[in-house]
Structures are given as C-alpha cells and as structure tokens.
Chain A
Amino acid sequence: MSRYILRRIGFLLLTLLITSIIVFGITQVLPGDPARVILGREAGEAALDSLREELGLNDPLPVQYLRWLGDFIRGDWGTSFSTGVEVRPLVMQRLGNSLMLAALTLLIAVPVAIALGVVAGLNENKTVDSAVNVSALSVVGLPEFVTGILLIEIFAFRLGIFPANSSIRPGTSFLEALPMLILPALTASLVILAYISRMTRVGVIGEVSKPYVRTARLKGLSQWSVTSRHVLRNALLPTIAVIAISFGWLISGLIVVENVYNYPGLGRLMIFAIDRRDLPIIQAVAMVAVLAFALANLAADLFSGYLNPRIRLQ
C-alpha cells in the first residue's frame, strides 16, 4: 500500500508541475500588459519601461516562470494589480469559504445520491428506478439560478427560515456561517446529486449481475449484507471518482451559485480578477483550484485502492 501511495503522490506532483506551466503560459498569452494595467492608460512610455524592468517582465519567459514558481512555493503570491492587497491572505480566506460550502454540499449530496443510486440500481427498470431517474434528471436539467431563486423564494421569503443573502464576513466560523450556508449548499447539491446517483446506479447495475453477488446471496446473506459488504465495495469505484471531480468543481467553479447568494467564494474571486486582468489573483486562484482538484483525486485514488485490492496490488 505504501508503494501505491508514493506512486500516487509522485503523479500528483507531476500533475501540479505541468498545470503550473499551463497556468503561467495562459496568463502570458492573455491580452493586456500588466504594467499598463497597473499604471493606467495615461502612463508614459518611460514609466512603463521602468515598471516592466522592475517586475521582471523583460526577462526570458523560462526565467520569469521559474521566478514565479519559486515565489509561489515560498508563499509569496504577489500583490493584486487592481486593489494592491496581498494576494495570499485574500485567496486563502476565500478558499476557506469555498471549502466550508463544498464540505456541507458533499455532506448533503453524497449520502442522498448514493442511497438513491443504490435503490435505483437494485430495482433496475422497475417503477422505483424510473421515479428516481425522472426526478433526478428533471432537477439536474434546471439551471442553478432557477433552483437557487426558487429555494430563496420558499425558504427565505415565504418561510423565513434561512437568509437569502449569504455574504459571510471574513473570519466567520463554520457553525456561525451554517444558516447562511444551507441554501447555497442545497442548490449546489441539486446539481451534483443526479450526477452522483446516476453513476452509483450504473455501478450497482454493473455489479449485481456478477456471479460473486449470486454467491453472496446463495450463502443466505441478507439483502443488506449483500449490498453493503459485497456490491458497494466494487460498485462505488466510479462514484468515488465523480465525487472527487464534483469537489473540484465546488471549490472553483461554483460561480453561479456564489453569485445568486452573494457568497464570497473562490469562483466569484476568479470572475472579479478576470474582469480586471488581475494576473496574480488569477494565477493564485487557478493554482489553488488545481491543487484542490488534485488532492481530491488523490484522496479518491487512495480510497479506491483501499476498497479494491486489485488497484493497489497491481
């Protein structure tokens, strides 16, 4: 197992290295000159030149890349072009918010989705299965701003249980933020719910027809033992991968939900930075997002390896 973990970590580092090159490369080809962005439209050529020299923008690209990467690893993520604040505390604070929302979303969505998927899968092509499928698909078909506004209308305006605005302050703890997190988390859950449950359903259907499940049944085990001990262990492998991908999306791609609820997460920060061509923030958010994605996938790989010996024992 330790060999397997080391290999996975090796691959993770390689992934990060490659994505850092891509992130750096893309910010290079984006139109716009950072010096011009910082100094404004009226700045003179001389001032621009000296700032470019100061920022190292005249050095060859590989040198710029290595300097940027070295600074990034050491924790110097630069200052925002547009607001002048330090990038790292800003991104870390937003990352914290995104993590809270992602955690709550997964906490709601994963158990429900797996349960629905298992029920549907065990009753393939029966009424329960079709009911789960139709409802899951009709929910996933609705865009987040529709479900979000619907939830706000019901829970915030009609029932008044949860606030409509989730703009939490910096430094709010998870428990304090919880009431404000529930509606955005529900909205995001609805998006990934159908995805995860369909994956589980397919996984379960693929496994229940296998001979080892028949063996387990013919041992006289209860339906619950057969499902939990035998089927799920093998059926959940694709689901785990989908959950990891969903987690990555929740961290950095939750732009619509964050906007509907005015939630200060990484997604909105990214939009803000792109609007202003704020390169340091764009790079930092992108790198953090990639890291979150990669770590989630590492966790998924390790968990899959734990469940399925053939993966880890090769």
Chain B
Amino acid sequence: MKPALSIENLTVSYRNGSSPVTALREVSLEIQPGEVHGLVGESGSGKTTLVLAAMQHLPDQAEITAGSIQLDGQELIGLTQDEMRAVWGTQIALVPQDPLSALNPSLKIGSQLRELRADLSKAEARKKSIGLLEMVQITDPERVAQSYPHQISGGMQQRVMIAMALCMGPKLLILDEPTTGLDSTTEAVVLDLIRDLMHESQTATLYVSHSLGVIAQFADQLTVLYASELVEHGPKMELFEQPLHPYTHGLLDSVPRLGENKHEIQLRSIGGSIPSLGDLPPACVFAPRCSVAIDICHEARPDLESSGVARQVRCYRWEEIQANQVDPRQPPAPPPLAKSDSAESVLKIEDLEVDYDQPRSLAKWLRRSPPQSVRAVDKVRLAIGKGETFGLVGESGSGKTSLAQAVIGLVDPAAGNVELFRAKLPSKISERDRKTLGQLQMVLQNPDEALNPYLSVGQSLARPLVLLGGTNSEDEIDRLLEAVRLPSEYADRYPAQLSGGEKQRVAIARAFAAIPDLVLLDEPVSSLDVSVQASILNLLNHLQRKHGTSLLFISHDIAVIGYLSDYVGVLYLGHLMEVAPSRALFDPPYHPYTEALLSALPLLDPKASQERVRLQGELPSPLNPPTGCPFHTRCPRFLGQICVEQTPPWQEDETGTSIYCHIPLEDLREEQGLVFAMRKRK
C-alpha cells in the first residue's frame, strides 16, 4: 500500500539575518491510510514547521533545503501555489489550535462552510454544509450555520473546523493541537468526536500535540521531536512501555499523573530549558539536559538507529537503556515537608461574593435604574493553614481568577470577609499597609506580560526588596535568583532575553522576595512547556518547604492541582462544589462535577481504563444563573425537581471531603466506581 504521507529527510531552515537557523533536521515519517500518527514536541521542537512544510504553506523566510514530501505518491516540494491550491482542502486539510482565530470573524459559519463547495449549487452546498455540521454532532446545525464564530462556544467552533477539514474527504488530515485551548470537559467531548470520526474514515491523520496524554489515546505510531531533531519513533504501546530516548523518559516523568500527590511521588523534572533553534548544541541536541550524557554525546551527532521493529532512536546509549544498564531518568526532587496539622490558619475566606456590573445603556443611566450585575464568585468559604497548599480547580468562567483578585485586593468584593492571620483584610489594595502587602503576593499566568520589559531582572527583584523587605543588596538579589535556580548573571538580563520558564522563575522570585506568608498562583504553569512545568512545580515545593509559605494554587488542570495541593476546592460558576483533602479527591464519593473533570482528563497511559462521564450543553450564562444547584443543568446524576428548586446541603464524610450535592454520600459512593484505573508508576 502506498503511504498517504511520506516525508523523507526533510530539512527546513529559516533565514535569520545572515545566518540561517535550522528548524528541522533530516526528519522522516510515514503515515499509512487509516493510521493516526502522533507527533509530540514542545515549543521550539519544529513541529509547527513540520506541519506547515507538509501543507507546503511555510512562511516566505523558510526554505526546504533537502528532503521530499510525498502525498499519496505525489511529490509536493516544488509545486507552485496554484498547483497546491488543488491539493489544499481536497487532499490535505488542517484543524488548527485556536478555532476562534482560525474562523473569519465577519462571516457566518454556514457561508464559511459553503465556500468549500463552489462546485455545487447554492442549495446543494447549503444542504451539504448542514450535513457536515450534523456529522460533527452539532444538534442545531441550522442555528449554528446562521451564527458568527464568536456567537458559538469554543467546542462548537472546533467542531466547525473539523467539519470544514473533513468536507472534501481528504487523504491526510492534520490536527495541530486541536483541543489545547479548550476547557477540559469540552476537550473530552471533542476528543471523543475525533476518535469516533477517525474510526469511521480511512483518512490518514497526523496528530500534533505537546500532551502525551492526548496522544496516548489516539495514535498508532508516535514520533518525538526535540529541538529540530527526531529523537525517537515507534508504535505507541511500545514507546509508552519502554521509552529508549532519555528525553522521552523525561517527558513521561515530568507530568503529574491523575491521583498522584507530592507527598507520595516526586516529579523528575528535566533540568535546563529547550535550546533556541539559533543556538543548538553541536552534537546531540539533548546532551546538555541529559542525565546520562557521556563525552561522545557532546562531540558528535548520534545517528538515528533502528532499535526494533519499526522503532528508531537517536541516542548513543539506547542499548544500555534498553538493557536497564543505565537509568536515563532524572533524579527525583526531594520530598516536601510532611504537612503539619497545625491549626493556625493563614487565610480565611468567609462567604465571599464578587459581582461585576454590566455596562448600562445611556437611557438606563438617565433613568438611574440600578446596574445589572453578574456574580462571579458566590458564597465561597475556605481556609488555608500555615505551610499548606490549597488548590482551586475550575474551568474558564468558574470565577477562580476573580476569587484570587478579590483576595489580593484588585476587585472589591460585594460581600464576605477575607482574614489574614485573623485580622480582616481591607478589601482595596490601596488601603492595605506595607506589612500586609509583603505578606500576600501573587504570581500570574503569563510571565511575558507580568514582567516589565524595560526593567532588568535585578531591577524587577529589587523593587519588592526595597518596598516590602527594606533591604536592597546585590547579595539579596543573588540569593533570590539562586533560590529559583537561576545564575546570578541573570540580574542584568531583560525579560526579552529569557525563556518562558525562566521568566516564570523570575516572577516567582519576585513574589517570594519579601518572604510572604501566602502566595496566590494563578495558573502559573499553564503557558509553559511540559518539561519546564515540572521544574516550576518542584521549585514551588522547594520554596514552600524553605519558608513555610502557604500557597493558593489556581489551575484548570486537576492532575496538577491534585499533585501539588493538600486541599482542593472545585469551583463551578463561582460556587465551590467540593472541598477535599487531595488524598481523598481521587476516590469516591466525588461531586458529579468533579467526577466529570476527572474522567475528562486524558490519561498518560494507553492501557489505563477510564469511565466516560461527559457534560452535555454549555456553561450557563452567569447573567442568568441556574436556580437551586448551579450544576443541575448539566449534571449527569441529576435527581429531579429538588436540584432545580433547592440549594444543596454541604455533606461531609469521614475523610474530610465536603460535597455540595443533594445526593446522599452513600449513594454517590455506591454509584461511582473509580473513574480511572491506572497502574502505579514504576
């Protein structure tokens, strides 16, 4: 059988001033019809370049210097734009990462689908487009066809993109991180859809992702890219069972798996950061970060060697790794301090409510009608003990950021109390004194925007030292940099010269500068690559251990939350649904929403089994929140009228888990099996 896609020895470089930068080096891969090929790589690995090259849609400054790309036997390199136009859409289709920006904001969905079928009459094209929307399981295709992209949810937008890609029955479908921007429960539904569609069709698929968990569900074959180089390739099961390249090991080890906690398992982070393409290590690209690198690894580039049937690896020591003679895994981080059950609570939040006023029209303003408001946080109560980590998990629109902003003093709560060491915190940050400001610090999600680009790292760190700590010496700055494992010469660098992970380290150093009692972390690792994520999580553990700092850690990723936290709060539509010690979070009973979150997470083990609990419908508008239990409109365990009419009680079990639900805990425990079954990590 002819492969649907065959890439051989592809080398792509970018012109960059005088010196060209290599983005892909001699990469080969083959995809048979009906096969799903997973491509894993972090930022800077060259996976985007590979996708664009396969589509022959590289930017102008890119140049294919060697290799061949054949689609169903037809050579694509060298085809003109006009010739490619006949291939695009009909033979190759792409589903990109961010569906909203990939759809024209000013054209209706229906019209963007119909233009693919210029060969059909208008009525036929319309019928066909409605049929496509039905195929991707959109329940009201007519309404969606009449909508503009921003009027439908992210999950719907991605279904539309999938419908578009499958419209002409392409030979090759490229899915480029198709669910990365979606909430986890939405992601689960879209992944189900993709899986079903893949089952039915004979289309060859290239599935690109940074997430091994997602790839584990789909791929037949797996290719791992690192810094422009193909480092390992093979059938998925074998690759997960016995990875041979130290980088593949590192990738698998650096992600916390569902159910793991820092007190039981220490993440093995890969040290250092991904090299930039302009500055690649001369021999093995992974050697500087590798724990088993030997002299030759720094001297000559290893060849891609065959390590088994359909398996290849680019490492000098793969045979020793296979024979268990060397352990390529990174050393685990030291375990965190055992949690003390000291009663002293650092932060106490009682019945906190945050409202946002809707903009009023001029007429309403003149009539002085009161502004309509949206409740972002509703009656949240929680307490964080000294040295404890409280994890807050929720999807977009759950109010997790609003809660953090109310605590730090950036938004004024409508009601409720926030106490720091039993003293009421003034709600506005301007009314807090220096001492309080020093006690409470925050780290934001996006380190690119959180650091002033015109201040050097040293200057950024000096400000909290002077303002809140009362000291400013270069020694102090060195000490801070060392604490976040950055060399002291970084004090003179500017944010633009740092990688994402390094910037986040600086942001964390800044937050810890005045040795605060509580640090709020709003999705601090979400924008970072997997291999960098683990080192930041380990760093947070290290700093917490050193200073006894309490952390309020906010994330959409329940595996990360479960790993890092002592207690976990699950937030939905501004309401806490469940508060549980992290040890009990992964065992029944769960709140039905927690159950859906757990079952939505792509597991990092192709052999693990997982119950499928999927949420139907969309997140209700906060302008018109559901009565009774906020979750009743989407609850898979909906009881009946009682959920609509009455607010549920808080029920607590012997493990300390509190669940906000009408269903008795015994019933929940009985009905809910373990939503996931997984083998323990070796």
Contact = CB atoms under 8 A, between A and B. Distances in A.
A221 B148 CA distance: 20
Interface in B108-162: 115-116, 148, 150-151, 161
14 contacts: A211-B101, A215-B94, A218-B55, A218-B92, A218-B93, A219-B89, A220-B90, A220-B116, A221-B85, A221-B89, A230-B107, A234-B104, A309-B106, A310-B106
B115 A225 contact: yes
B207 to A, nearest CB: 17
Interface of B: 55, 57, 81, 85-90, 92-94, 96, 98, 101-107, 115-116, 148, 150-151, 161, 164, 362
Interface string A151-170: 00000000000000000000
A219 B148 CA distance: 19
Contact of B164 (A219, A223, A230, A233): A219
Contacts of B88: 217-220
A130 interface: no
B104 A216 contact: yes
Contact of B107 (A217, A218, A233): A233
B115 A212 contact: no
B419 to A, nearest CB: 40
Nearest to B101: A211
Interface in A281-314: 307-310, 313
Contacts of A10: 362
Contact of A212 (B89, B93, B104): B104
B57 A234 contact: no
A211 B96 contact: yes
B51 to A, nearest CB: 11
Interface in A44-88: none
Interface residues of A, number: 24
A271 B96 CA distance: 59
Contact of B103 (A215, A225, A229): A215
Contacts of A313: 148, 151
A210 interface: yes
Given A217-B57, A310-B148, A212 B102 contact: yes
A214 B102 contact: yes
Given A10-B362, A214-B57, A313-B148, A308 B106 contact: yes
Given A211-B96, A310-B150, A220 B86 contact: yes
User: Which one of A225, A309, A313 has the greatest number of beta carbons of chain B within 10 Å?
Assistant: A309
A309 B148 contact: yes
A216 B88 CA distance: 10
Nearest to A219: B89
Contacts of B104: 212, 215-216, 230, 233-234
Contacts of A234: 104-106
Contacts of B81: 223
B102 to A, nearest CB: 4
Interface in A136-180: none
B106 A233 contact: yes
A218 B94 contact: yes
B35 to A, nearest CB: 22
Contact of A220 (B87, B96, B101, B103): B87
B62 to A, nearest CB: 14
A229 B87 contact: no
A235 to B, nearest CB: 10
A interface SS class: helix
Contacts of A223: 81
A222 interface: yes
B99 to A, nearest CB: 9
B64 to A, nearest CB: 18
Contacts, number: 71
B115 A210 contact: no
B150 A210 contact: no
Contacts of B164: 215, 219
Interface in A179-226: 210-212, 214-223, 225
Contacts of B98: 211
A170 B60 CA distance: 58
Given A218-B93, A219-B115, A225-B115, A212 B103 contact: yes
A225 B104 CA distance: 13
A5 B329 CA distance: 65
Contacts of A230: 104, 107
Given A10-B362, A223-B81, 20 more contacts: A210-B101, A212-B101, A215-B104, A215-B164, A217-B57, A218-B57, A218-B89, A218-B93, A220-B87, A220-B88, A221-B85, A221-B89, A222-B85, A225-B115, A233-B104, A233-B106, A309-B148, A310-B105, A310-B150, A313-B151
A234 B115 CA distance: 18
Contacts of A225: 115
Contacts of B89: 218-221
Contacts of B87: 220
Contacts of A214: 57, 96, 102
A6 to B, nearest CB: 10
Contact of B106 (A218, A220, A222, A307): A307
Contacts of B148: 309-310, 313
B562 to A, nearest CB: 34
A230 B104 CA distance: 7
A133 to B, nearest CB: 19
A222 B83 CA distance: 11
A225 B107 CA distance: 13
Nearest to B113: A219
A307 to B, nearest CB: 6
Contacts of A219: 88-89, 115-116, 164
Nearest to A215: B102
A218 B150 CA distance: 21
A229 B118 CA distance: 14
Contacts of A309: 105-106, 148
A122 to B, nearest CB: 12
A308 B108 CA distance: 11
Nearest to B95: A215
A109 to B, nearest CB: 25
Nearest to B89: A220
Interface string A213-255: 0111111111101000110011000000000000000000000
A10 B366 CA distance: 14
Contacts of A216: 104
Given A217-B88, A218-B89, A212 B57 contact: no
A307 B104 CA distance: 12
A223 B57 CA distance: 14
A215 B113 CA distance: 11
Contact of A221 (B92, B94, B102, B115): B115
Given A218-B93, A219-B164, A220-B90, A211 B102 contact: yes
A175 B230 CA distance: 72
User: Which one of B55, B90, B102, B151 has the greatest number of beta carbons of chain A within 10 Å?
Assistant: B102
Contacts of B107: 229-230, 233
Nearest to A14: B362
Smallest CB-CB A-B distances: 10 pairs: A220-B89, A220-B88, A219-B89, A211-B102, A211-B101, A212-B104, A309-B148, A233-B106, A215-B102, A218-B88
A308 B148 CA distance: 10
Contacts of A215: 94, 96, 102-104, 161, 164
User: Which one of B57, B81, B86, B105 has the greatest number of beta carbons of chain A within 10 Å?
Assistant: B105
Contacts of A308: 105-106
